[in-house]
Amino acid sequence: MTREQLVDQIFTKQSYLCVGLDTDIAKIPPHLQSHPEAVFTFNKAIIDATRDYCVSYKINTAFYEAMGLKGWEAMEKTVHYIGDRHFKIADAKRGDIGNTSTQYAKAFLETLPFDAITVAPYMGEDSVKPFLAFKDKWAIVLGLTSNKGAEDFELQQAGAGKLYEKVLQTVSAWGNPDNLMFVVGATQANAFTNIRKLTPHHFYLVPGIGAQGGSLKDISAIAMIKDCGLLVNASRAIIYAASDEHFADAARQAALQYQQEMKGYLL
């Protein structure tokens, strides 16, 4: 998906919501847990319920890889079911030496029809650039994350600035705003003004809204640009909005509430 197509979806739907399919079989409604395709059945219901209110889905691959072949098959069915009208993110956080990154990129951006993959930049340019070599595909590089461990490295001083600032400035030169995004956690609201100055035209994937306590209002006010420039992810607050037979209806209502709030913030 191109940037223009993504932006068109955002303003058509008046939403920059990304629904995180972090599907844990132990947390889905009990009546589905014994289903032979429990994860895909749950995902399908969530997608059907929320697709009108979001522009993106993010599949956290760990929840699927943990189940072995069965989980991988559920992930593959899910990403195909989502279709081409939503921006599909593989939250896999890959990043390795060049030839290995190339294979990771092929796996998620070629063999599987994801539009983007999250990438860890610690090993440097040759570990990131292979993900930028695919037409109309995106690398979403970890910038400043929402977890407590961000203090261990990302927020440490590195020369004249913080390490995350060096990452943003350096990585932004490896790609462009049409194929490169950054992960910036919603719990890091105080840093967004500076981050937007460092990367004024890039999209951000923003986790940490909802269950983790980030403020959609604050992030939207600080970081939104003319073509939005934000994909705000909500996972547990939507997909686990209810745990009974009405879970899909509850997910729909939760996604609708996000969409209605986002509609008021779009420039």
The single residue of 27, 93, 106, 166 carrying the catalytic annotation is 93
Distances (CA, A) of 235 to 24, 145, 185, 217, 266: 11, 16, 14, 18, 21
Pairing relationship of beta strands 138-144 and 116-119 according to DSSP bridges: parallel
User: C-alpha angle 92/94/98, rounded to 5°?
Assistant: 150
* CATH class given for the domain over 3-265: alpha beta
The answer to whether the pTM exceeds 0.95 is yes
How far apart CA 163 and CA 144 sit, in angstroms, is 9
Average pLDDT over every residue of 59-69 = 98
pLDDT-derived band of residue 203, with 50, 70 and 90 as boundaries? very high
88 is catalytic: no
CA distance 218 to 220: 5
Domain spans in the chain, listed from the N-terminal domain onward: 3-265
Residues 141-187: tens digit of each pLDDT: 999 998 889 999 999 999 889 999 999 999 999 999 999 999 999 98
In contact, 90 and 114? CB cutoff 8 Å: yes
Q: Is the pLDDT of residue 267 over 90?
A: no
Is residue 211 over pLDDT 70? no
Termini Cα distance of the chain: 22
Residue 238 token pair: 């939507």
